[in-house]
Amino acid sequence: MADNARAKRLADLIREVVAQKLQRGIKDPRLGSHVTITDTRVTGDLREATVFYTVYGDDEERAAAAAGLESAKGVLRSAVGAAAGVKFTPTLTFVADALPDTAKTIEDLLDKARMSDEKVREVSAGAKYAGEADPYRKPDEDEDDAAE
């Protein structure tokens, strides 16, 4: 088993090599400029690498990009092997990164919370206190009440 630093260096190298190869070396029209490699993780034994990617576009473009990455897997693995110089080139698995979808969901929830806060602000704009403005008794008032 390799140490974590070596696995991290190999993961960084794989991310860079795959990104460069997708940008310059692969002529598949399904893998246009809308595919972005976001992260790479390598197992502790350096045998398997998971490459996370995002595709900017609709579901059809995402499916096409996934098919394109699967078809280019061998070429990309060969490029990684040539660049890494390790005894065993890790097998590549491509996984669509859910981070953009999660970020969009969080942004939608934050917008909903802002709208709710704005409604509360509008309703409370002309509101008055139910009792006095300051409902707490002051220490000097307590002494005056006790003296009487």
* pLDDT of 143 strictly over 80: no
What are residue 127's phi and psi, to 5 degrees? -75, 150
pLDDT of 87 above 90:
no
pLDDT of residue 99: 79
Residues 35-82 have pLDDT tens digits of: 888 899 999 888 999 999 988 878 888 888 888 889 888 888 999 999
Task: Kindly tell me the sign of the dihedral angle through the C-alpha atoms of 54, 60, 63, 67.
Answer: negative
Q: Which residue has the higher pLDDT, 146 or 33?
A: 33
Give residue-wise pLDDT tens across range 20-29: 888 887 787 7
Kindly report the CA angle at 14 between 12 and 19, in degrees rounded to 5? 100
| Pairing between β-strand 48-55 and β-strand 91-96 as defined by DSSP bridges | parallel
How much is the pLDDT for 148? Answer: 59
Provide the pLDDT for residue 108: 93
End-to-end CA distance of the chain: 84
Going by C-alpha positions, the residue among 23, 41, 40 that lies closest to residue 32 is: 23
Domain spans of the chain, in order of start:
4-97
99 or 19, which is more confident: 19
CATH annotation of 4-97? 3.30.300.20
C-alpha to C-alpha distance for 42 and 49, rounded to whole angstroms: 4
Closest CA to 54 of 90, 88, 22: 22
How high is the mean pLDDT of the chain? 84
Average pLDDT over residues 90-100: 87
- Determine the residue type at 18: V
Is the Cβ–Cβ distance between 31 and 68 less than 8 Å? yes
